[in-house]
A and B are shown apart, each in its own frame.
Chain A
Amino acid sequence: MKKLTVIIGLVCSGLVVVAALVSLVWTPFDPRKVDGPARFAPPGWPHVLGTDAFGIDTASRLLVGAQTTLLVGVVAVALAAVIGVPLGVFVGMGHRIAGEVVARASDILFALPALLLAILLAAALGASVTTAAVAIGIATIPVFQRMARAATLTVMSQDYILAAQVSGIPGGVIAIRHVLPNITPVLGVQAAASFSMAILAEAGLSYLGLSAPQSTPTWGRMLHDANLYAAPIQAVIPGVAIAVAVLGFNLLGDGVRDYLDPRMKELR
């Protein structure tokens, strides 16, 4: 049962990665080329998944959109983890006053929805995929900070930390040698979950026009552009793609945790 979910996760997320890679070298049509006479073509030949209101080939946009999807996930999660994890570990390893300050700052950031942040950043820097990814990343920092702090507290209560302290190993070294490796599995699962959340959030922002401009093919933008009366299928296709990606990375998260735990090797 466990294996099945990991396999489904691998297949789904693998599809997205393959689509992104393929689109780097080949797409059936130019994903930006407007072709008026071909607008609203139903799925068939030569447009496998049909065309949108501008006559742009949907299959090509879908493939290129996978790139954006992955980019957003990677940028958002990396940003959130790079800032949130060290903060969480630092807070979890001691300092009470600093901990209180970080916790309250986290609460404030947590109360600010990604959507609001994205509107803010889009207004200040202009709407683009990067601003959307950065906004989602910043909004995700508290998630990583809290997760890292909780996991660090668990690790710090272990005797091997006392053993290191008795030997006079400095706190920074303990953080790198003991704390980080032991909280990685929890963070791995969180990263995968946040990755899919970021994909979903970006799709939402694109749909609202707060992310990619029309010329950048993204799945959220495709949803936005779909004409529900003329060709409802054009809304279903990116919708399914988003669902597959979100599901895939979520299921993959569980697998990542098991893989990173040396104690689980016996069970495999």
Chain B
Amino acid sequence: MSVFGLNDVSVRFGGRRRSVEALRGVDLVIEEHERWGIVGESGSGKTTLLKLLAGLEAPTSGSLTFFDAALDLRRRETMAKLRSSVQMVFQDPRGSLDPRMTIADIVAEPLRSPLLRGRGDVPRDRAARVDEVLEAVGLDRSAKSLYPHEFSGGQRQRIALARALAPRPKILLADEPVSALDVSVRAHVLNLVNDLVDSMGLTLVMVTHDLAVVRHTCDHVGVLRHGQLVEVGATGEVMDHPRQAYTKELINAVARLDV
């Protein structure tokens, strides 16, 4: 059973006269437990694709399925299913953590979602679950009463990761999860993502401009250019034998990240 299926999906922004096509005729199937890296330059439509999967954006044309059922932003049941099994990590943890909430409140927030009530495996004891996920991302319990500004960038991204994992999601969406971090902590956070995706059996869809990150974390890669998916395949294959000139360019443009 595929987690996400995109069939000829296009997303257009703006009015009739001046519209921007963020995605054009994208076909993509993401199976369970796969780790996808979507690569592209800024403006290639990566973030739009991720928002589509997160149910924050609707396709202008084409169809989108979630566990083989059509995903419609207006239909409650499918959206409830999506919202209770998908979590997202954002690029800049300064903006993705509410500056006025304590870490305990931030991490516990997804557990308060009314959509989780229908799920049996949801942690009942919020405080215990917060402790659990904070430990899983390598943060001390004393962090709970502090505010986001009291942490470094890497630590904040760990907090964001803890929040995403708290409700035991099936799918993790990540929007450039390490791009805003210092080079020195990128590898740590990426390894953490790897380990957690492994141990929790997640499906990962990560968007990035950095092929080195994809090579390190993902088993499948899709290359986006001007809203079109120009190359799709297993990471090793695409990296070693790129079929498109554009993919070659991207590969040659990045230095390898040794981790």
Query: A residues engaging B (CB < 8 A)?
Result: 158-160, 162-170, 173, 177-178, 181-182, 262-263, 266
Q: How far is the CA of A178 from the CA of B116 in the complex (A)?
A: 20
Is A163 a contact of B84 with CB atoms below 8 Å?
no
Encoded as 1 (CB less than 8 Å from any A CB) or 0, chain B from 63 to 100 comes to 00000000000000001100110111011100111111
CB within 8 Å for A168 and B84 given contacts A159-B95, A262-B99, A262-B149: yes
Q: How far is the CA of A167 from the CA of B115 in the complex (A)?
A: 8
Question: Shortest CB–CB separation between residue B187 and chain A, in angstroms?
Answer: 23
Q: How many residues of B contact A (CB 8 A)?
A: 34
Is A166 a contact of B54 with CB atoms below 8 Å?
yes
Given contacts A177-B101, A182-B100, 14 further A-B pairs with CB under 8 A are: A158-B98, A160-B98, A160-B106, A162-B90, A163-B90, A166-B56, A166-B87, A167-B87, A167-B110, A167-B115, A168-B80, A168-B113, A168-B116, A177-B98
Q: How far is the CA of A165 from the CA of B54 in the complex (A)?
A: 9
Is A167 a contact of B99 with CB atoms below 8 Å?
no
Is B147 a contact of A262 with CB atoms below 8 Å?
yes
CB closest chain-A residue, reference B87: A166
Task: Give 9 CB contacts A-B under 8 Å.
Answer: A158-B98, A160-B106, A164-B109, A166-B173, A167-B110, A167-B167, A168-B114, A177-B101, A263-B99
Q: How far is the CA of A204 from the CA of B90 in the complex (A)?
A: 53
Question: Shortest CB–CB separation between residue B146 and chain A, in angstroms?
Answer: 10
B124 within 8 A of A: no
Q: How far is the CA of A159 from the CA of B88 in the complex (A)?
A: 10
Q: Which residues of A contact B84 (CB under 8 A)?
A: 168
Q: How far is the CA of A160 from the CA of B110 in the complex (A)?
A: 11
Q: How far is the CA of A208 from the CA of B186 in the complex (A)?
A: 68
Question: Shortest CB–CB separation between residue A256 and chain B, in angstroms?
Answer: 15
Q: How far is the CA of A110 from the CA of B98 in the complex (A)?
A: 33
With beta carbons under 8 angstroms apart, the residue of A162, A164, A262 that contacts B100 is: A262
With beta carbons under 8 angstroms apart, the residue of B79, B80, B90, B110 that contacts A159 is: B90
Task: Give 3 nearest A-B pairs by CB, closest first.
Answer: A168-B83, A159-B96, A168-B115
Q: Which residues of A contact B160 (CB under 8 A)?
A: 163
Q: How far is the CA of A25 from the CA of B85 in the complex (A)?
A: 63
B153 within 8 A of A: no
Q: How far is the CA of A178 from the CA of B97 in the complex (A)?
A: 10
Encoded as 1 (CB less than 8 Å from any A CB) or 0, chain B from 101 to 144 comes to 10000100110111110000000000000000000000000000
Q: Which residues of A contact B116 (CB under 8 A)?
A: 168
B163 within 8 A of A: yes
Q: Which residues of B contact A266 (CB under 8 A)?
A: 149
Is A263 a contact of B149 with CB atoms below 8 Å?
yes
Q: Which residues of A contact B87 (CB under 8 A)?
A: 166-167
Q: Which residues of B contact A165 (CB under 8 A)?
A: 56
CB within 8 Å for A166 and B100 given contacts A159-B90, A262-B149, A266-B149: no
Question: Shortest CB–CB separation between residue B85 and chain A, in angstroms?
Answer: 10
Is B149 a contact of A178 with CB atoms below 8 Å?
no
Q: How far is the CA of A169 from the CA of B116 in the complex (A)?
A: 10
Q: Which residues of A contact B167 (CB under 8 A)?
A: 167
CB closest chain-A residue, reference B92: A159
Question: Shortest CB–CB separation between residue A268 and chain B, in angstroms?
Answer: 13
Q: Which residues of A contact B95 (CB under 8 A)?
A: 158-160
